[in-house]
Chain A
Amino acid sequence: MVQNFARGPLIVALRDTRLALGRGEAEKILVELA
């Protein structure tokens, strides 16, 4: 997680890419440690 202001979209770093992600979409993503 790069940035999360509790409202509005988030910024995450995935592998070598920075992504802006809508909050609704982020809530549907499950993260599992490999």
Chain B
Amino acid sequence: MNTPASSLTIALTGQPNVGKSTVFNVLTGLNQYVSNWPGKTCEQRIGSLSYAGHEIQIVDLPGTYCLTANSIEEQIARDYIIQGQPDVVAAVVDAASLERNLYLLAELLSLPSPLVLGLNRLDLAEQQGMRVEAHVLEAALGIPVIAMVASKGQGVRELLDASVRVANNPLEYQPKRPEIRADHKAVLGDIQTLIAGYVPEPYPPDWVASKLLEGDEEIARMMQAAMNDSANKTETAAGWQAVHALLMEHEDAFLAVASGRYEWIGRMVRAAVARPKPGRVTVTDRIDHFATHPFWGLLILLAALGMLFWLTYAVGTPVQAWLETHIVQAGARWVSASLAGAPVWLVGLLAQGIIAGVGTVLTLLPILIIFFIGLGLLEDLGYMARAAYVMDRYMHPMGLHGKSFLALFLGFGCNVPAVMGTRIIESPKARLLTILIAPLAPCTARLSVLALLVPIFFGPSAWWVTLVLIALPLSVMMLLGKGLHELALGGEHHAFIMELPLYQFPNLTEIGKGVWQRTIDFLQGAGTIILVVSVLMWGLSHFPGGEIEDSYLAALGRGLAPLGSLMGLDWQMMVALLTSFVRKENTIPTLAVLYGAGQGGASLASVLSGIIPPAAAFAFLAVQVLFVPCVATVGTMVEETKSWRWTLLSVGLLLVISLSVGILIYQAGRLTGWGM
């Protein structure tokens, strides 16, 4: 008879960028489930495995520097450990930054769940000339300490063994915890006495007392409510007042708490870590001498991003073209041939609606995957933080920091990865602002429309007209970013404090898993929206007459003709603007069909240049570069912001701005006589 396996829950925690995700992936493989933490926008990863007769669930907590609930990630981590009560907490620390990493451990030791310590990245520590003795640290801490190089799979199983052992032998768990600095021990004791009996389950009373001294607002609110809700309100109200008075009298107590922890950490590190002699220049130092230089750093950044773009279009564009020709168009032809006797609308719906919609999503994949790989490589290498540092000073006028630049720059290739690239921005408001203005980056699709149309209308002046049309959305981006930052997002100034991690060789397996997950996220989220809207737009351009000239879309274009006349645009050009919502490149074939290009040997260039004056052309092109983003970008914005309201605000703003600029340009031309 088989003995039923017992179940264990292990919470994996650690500061950001310590290799925690690598440990999680090595342990769980593909047996992982990704969702959001309940009620939060932060990602939750849970994996499972069978090991040593146990069914083990591994919960990957968000990376946090401490447990003070200043951010959603810190709140999630501590709430899960306290209320979720995992059997074991496995804390992963970076051996090359042990002193900083042990601060989180110092806090974790105050919580009830038993701990094991994964001492990761020992190889990086060795590169820095450091020697960290895991067994010495284990003796000093009183908890299991496992030496690991998770990127090479070393020590991960041992971490699991230690976790199972600790979970099965709770009485053997005898950690050595840090204490508050001596001059504040009495105050801590007074707080513990005052709150005794009122601390709600399952919070540890000693931990709550320490948090009150640290000035933790959430814990203070919890205790005030708990003490005020108690039966004897007179006694407890006085009790909370006494607590509050004590805390106000010792406002600097948080320094004593932190000092006590750092004194404890200092003892641990002195015992277990042998450092190199001062003055040693590491590999990171040598690279950063150039990578963070205001001039050389900028050149290196532009070279890195230029290489990323080159790779994307050298590899991605041919794959895109192949997919378009051999999958999308071939699929549409096959459907048309197979359904030869079927109603025209059905064939159109399948071939030009659904297959075209799927094709839009499919042909984006090569570009997205290469961008994701490139971003993953730069991030894993440790370079992304340097790029954000170099660009930080240029982003301040928009109320943003350097990481936003990386996302916005991607928009020059395609706005979809630009929006998805904002995931590297920690601040929710900065991320939202970057998403809202990212569609103003002139993507290659818009640039291809400019490349075709500008020479038609402006001949030898095409080069400076193109420069102006590229500078225009960038200028609007800065102004809109500044305006949204001040008016809609509270004008908050976010402190720029960012760790510069050590450089390391990228882990290709981890990057591959990240690319896979991001691609699946895109297909499941934005991909669905793109498909639905594409089918809808096909319907508008097909019904009722079967041709675009007598479709609902054309009727809409004719209805918008009075608005278009303010910009010198006829209904055909308004329809071309509307079809650019599906794909920016649609502008060209729409103009060709509606103006009858190709009939009687007349090219699109000759037809357009004979009909549209330069002022109207300039207005049209200005509207093009500022117009609402394509459906793929809108779908991605909805998915990344989790908000139709903010997405529609961005779309609405761009609609108003683009049309206003178009009207201004044409009316200025009319008044001055230029281009008429």
* B401 nearest CB neighbor, chain A only: A22
Q: Could you say which residues of chain B place their CB within 8 Å of the CB of A11?
A: 288, 292, 389, 500
Contact assessment for B495 and A9 in the assembled complex, using a CB-CB cutoff below 8 Å = no
Of B45-53, B91-99, B300-308, the one with at least 4 CB within 8 A of chain A:
B91-99
CB within 8 Å of B: which A3-34 residues: 3, 5, 7-9, 11, 14-22, 24-25
Q: A15-B100, A16-B97, A16-B100 are in contact. Are A22 and B497 (CB under 8 A)?
A: yes
Contact assessment for B392 and A8 in the assembled complex, using a CB-CB cutoff below 8 Å = yes
Contact assessment for B497 and A19 in the assembled complex, using a CB-CB cutoff below 8 Å = yes
Q: Mark contacts of B492-519 with chain A using CB atoms, 8 A cut-off: 1 yes-contact digit, 0 otherwise.
A: 0101111110000000000000000000
B247 touches A (CB below 8 Å) = no
Contact assessment for B498 and A15 in the assembled complex, using a CB-CB cutoff below 8 Å = no
A32 to B288, CA, bound (A): 27
* B496 nearest CB neighbor, chain A only: A22
Contact assessment for A18 and B392 in the assembled complex, using a CB-CB cutoff below 8 Å = no
Interface centre among B98, B385, B500 (most CB of A within 10 A): B500
Interface residues of chain B: helix, strand, loop or mixed (majority): helix
A8 to B156, CA, bound (A): 41
Contact assessment for A20 and B498 in the assembled complex, using a CB-CB cutoff below 8 Å = yes
How many residues of A sit at the interface, in one of the four size bands? 10 to 19
Contact assessment for B499 and A7 in the assembled complex, using a CB-CB cutoff below 8 Å = no
Q: Could you say which residues of chain B place their CB within 8 Å of the CB of A17?
A: 97, 99-100, 499
- Out of A5, A7, A16, A25, which one reaches B497, CB within 8 Å? A25
B294 touches A (CB below 8 Å) = yes
Number of A-B contacts (CB under 8 A): 60
Interface centre among A3, A11, A14, A17 (most CB of B within 10 A): A17
Contact assessment for A3 and B292 in the assembled complex, using a CB-CB cutoff below 8 Å = yes
Q: How far is the CB of B95 from chain A (nearest CB, A)?
A: 10
Q: Could you say which residues of chain B place their CB within 8 Å of the CB of A19?
A: 497-500
Contact assessment for A22 and B100 in the assembled complex, using a CB-CB cutoff below 8 Å = no
* B393 nearest CB neighbor, chain A only: A8
Q: A8-B393, A15-B99 are in contact. Are A21 and B292 (CB under 8 A)?
A: no
A3 to B595, CA, bound (A): 61
Interface centre among A8, A19, A21, A25 (most CB of B within 10 A): A8
Q: Could you say which residues of chain A place their CB within 8 Å of the CB of B497?
A: 19-22, 25
A15 to B102, CA, bound (A): 12
Q: How far is the CB of B28 from chain A (nearest CB, A)?
A: 29
Q: Could you say which residues of chain B place their CB within 8 Å of the CB of A16?
A: 96-100
Q: How far is the CB of B101 from chain A (nearest CB, A)?
A: 9
Q: How far is the CB of A28 from chain B (nearest CB, A)?
A: 9
- Out of A3, A18, A25, which one reaches B499, CB within 8 Å? A18
A11 to B500, CA, bound (A): 9
Contact assessment for A9 and B97 in the assembled complex, using a CB-CB cutoff below 8 Å = no
A4 to B393, CA, bound (A): 13
Given known contacts A18-B500, A19-B497, A20-B498, what 17 new A-B pairs fall within 8 Å (CB)?
Answer: A5-B294, A9-B389, A11-B288, A11-B500, A15-B97, A16-B100, A17-B97, A17-B100, A18-B284, A18-B288, A19-B500, A20-B292, A20-B496, A20-B497, A21-B497, A22-B497, A25-B495
What are 21 sample pairs from A and B whose C-beta atoms fall under 8 A apart?
Answer: A3-B292, A8-B393, A9-B389, A9-B392, A14-B100, A15-B99, A16-B99, A17-B100, A17-B499, A19-B500, A20-B292, A20-B389, A20-B392, A20-B497, A20-B499, A20-B500, A21-B497, A22-B496, A22-B497, A24-B495, A25-B496
Please list the 10 inter-chain residue pairs (A to B) with the smallest Cβ-Cβ separation, ordered nearest first: A22-B496, A8-B393, A18-B500, A15-B99, A20-B389, A20-B498, A25-B495, A17-B100, A16-B97, A16-B99
